[in-house]
Amino acid sequence: MTRIINPFEGLEIITSDLIRNDDRGSAWHIDTNSKQDRITLFKRNIGSLTGGHYHLPGHPTRDPEESLLIDGTVTIFSKHMISEEEYSNTFLGPVMFRYHTNVYHAMRAESDILFSDLHDDFKGRDYNVVVKELHHKL
């Protein structure tokens, strides 16, 4: 459960909540005062895969989807599902990825990584998500 620690007036330390822990790594929520309810942080282990899907137009929180690589190195693979254009490259954080609708996206951790999806991870989670198994492209 999120806690706010107030060591003195004007300073708030907001703890994070572990929401998931598996062989890929872990996911955390941090409540914020911003227009999004919280920030979702992911720690992923070297070699793990993330993503592997695309969104159809009109998704309430992922039109577009933004992901901020805070630390580490990843290889991304993207494919536009209409034009069939493909892109793959390796990046060292910090860098932000913005995925618009109909763009498949997958990411492989080339090192242990820390990243944030700049949306509430669970709002509209199953809305217009199309999962594709194109991880073999990585």
Q: Does residue 7 fall inside a structural domain?
A: no
Does pLDDT of 94 surpass 70? yes
Does pLDDT of 112 surpass 90? yes
Question: What is the structure's pLDDT at 124?
Answer: 44
From 11-15, 32-36, 47-51, 91-95, the region with the lowest mean pLDDT:
32-36
Question: What is the structure's pLDDT at 49?
Answer: 93
Q: Does residue 123 fall inside a structural domain?
A: yes
Which domain range does residue 82 map to?
A: 18-137
Give SS3 for 60.
Answer: coil
Average pLDDT, the chain: 78
Q: Does residue 98 fall inside a structural domain?
A: yes
Q: Does residue 116 fall inside a structural domain?
A: yes
The residues that bridge with 109 in the sheet, in sequence order, are: 74
- pLDDT 10s digits, 121-136: 554 445 455 665 555 5
Q: Does residue 51 fall inside a structural domain?
A: yes
Q: Does residue 69 fall inside a structural domain?
A: yes
**Across the beta sheet with 49-55, what order do the strands follow?**
86-92, 73-80, 103-109, 49-55, 129-131
Domain count, the chain: 1
Number of CB atoms found within 10 A of residue 10's CB: 6
Q: What is the CATH number of the domain that holds 108?
A: 2.60.120.10
Q: How many Å apart are CA 125 and CA 19, to the nearest integer? A: 15
Q: Does residue 120 fall inside a structural domain?
A: yes
